[in-house]
Amino acid sequence: MSLPNHDFDATMLEETAHRPWPLPERPWIMTQTWHDLLFAHWPVDHEHLASLLPAGLELDLYDGAAWVGIVPFYMTNVAPRGVPSLPWVSAFAELNVRTYVHVGGKPGVYFFSLDAANPLAVAAARALFALPYYSATMAVRQTAEGVAYRSSRTTVAAAPAEFEATYAPTGGVFHAREGTREYFLTERYCLYTVTSDGKPRRVDIHHRPWPLQEADGQLPVNTMAAAAGIRLPATPPLLHFAKRQDVVAWATAPAG
Query: Quick check: is 92 in a domain?
Result: yes
What residues does 67 pair with on adjacent strands? 43
Predicted local confidence at residue 152, as pLDDT = 98
Write the CATH number for 125: 2.40.400.10
Query: Quick check: is 125 in a domain?
Result: yes
Predicted local confidence at residue 125, as pLDDT = 74
Predicted local confidence at residue 127, as pLDDT = 77
Number of domains in the chain: 1
Predicted local confidence at residue 196, as pLDDT = 81
Please, is 179 exposed, middle or buried when counting C-beta atoms within 10 Å of its C-beta (0-12, 13-18, 19+)? exposed
Query: Quick check: is 44 in a domain?
Result: yes
d(CA 177, CA 165): 28
pLDDT per residue, tens digit, the chain (256 aa), is 656 667 899 999 999 999 999 999 999 999 999 999 999 999 999 999 999 999 999 999 999 999 999 999 999 999 999 887 776 678 999 999 999 999 988 999 999 999 999 887 777 777 777 889 999 999 999 999 899 999 999 999 999 999 999 999 999 999 999 999 999 999 999 999 998 888 899 999 999 999 999 999 999 999 999 999 999 999 999 999 999 999 999 999 999 7
- Helix segments in the chain, DSSP class H: 46-51, 87-90, 119-129, 181-186, 224-227
Query: Quick check: is 101 in a domain?
Result: yes
Find the domain containing 111 and state its range.
28-254
Within 13 Å of residue 23, how many CA atoms lie on the same side as its CB?
A: 17
pTM, entire model: 0.95
Pairing of strands 58-59, 92-103: antiparallel
Query: Quick check: is 22 in a domain?
Result: no
